Amino acid sequence: MERRAKGTGTLTQRNDGQWEGRIRYRDEGHKLIVKACFAPTKEECEARMKELRLECGVIDRRECSEDMPFKEWCQLWLRYEKANVSVSTYETYARQIALYFDKRIGDIPLNEITVETLGRMYSNLRRNGRTVHIEEKGEGVSLGTIHTLHRLMKAIFKKAVAIGVVTRNPAKECTIPKNKSCETRFCK
């Protein structure tokens, strides 16, 4: 009997000939949740399990690796986060990732992003990260935007650490100045 990869669920054929697929995951409160689906054929059951994982926000470990580009990880994270947030929040995340992360650090492998990488990106954004209203507000984004992007970065890496794609969250170690009077130096 062929063993399935870790994190992909359980697939068995029942006595009545039906195929049963089960996925297990933990919610935010770490409570174990088990979801099941049934189908007449193995292929149909695997397809339903994939839909079930998407619906529940469970990332298939086979789809990711530590050396995948950051923008690919973000797209994977977004796809699964869609099940857990409202439509407007999802759209905001997608827009922020496309505007601020993809062009700057999108091609860097996930495991090569460091505290220094994030610090340079935040400093660059603070100096010349604005894409609209440059005449009225200047070239750099506000410190509030930097804080919002930093929270998003922490969430993106938190999921990568949780499923074992990377071992540490560099965004957790990065500090952002609390107010505008602070020196614009990020990530000690």
CB of 133 closer than 8 Å to CB of 96: no
pLDDT at 182: 47
Walk along the chain (188 residues) and give the pLDDT tens digit of each residue.
566 665 577 889 999 999 999 988 766 666 778 889 999 999 999 889 888 877 776 666 667 788 899 999 999 889 878 767 888 999 999 999 999 999 899 999 999 999 999 999 998 888 887 777 667 777 788 888 899 999 999 999 988 887 788 889 999 998 887 765 444 455 54
Q: What are the beta bridge partners of residue 36?
A: 22
3-class DSSP state for residue 63?
A: helix
- As a three-state string, the secondary structure of 26-57 is ECCCCCEEEEEEEECCHHHHHHHHHHHHHHHC
Q: What are the beta bridge partners of residue 12?
A: 20
pTM beyond 0.75 = no
Length of the chain, in residues = 188
> Looking at residue 144, what DSSP letter applies?
H
User: How distant is the alpha carbon of residue 80 from its chain centre?
Assistant: 8
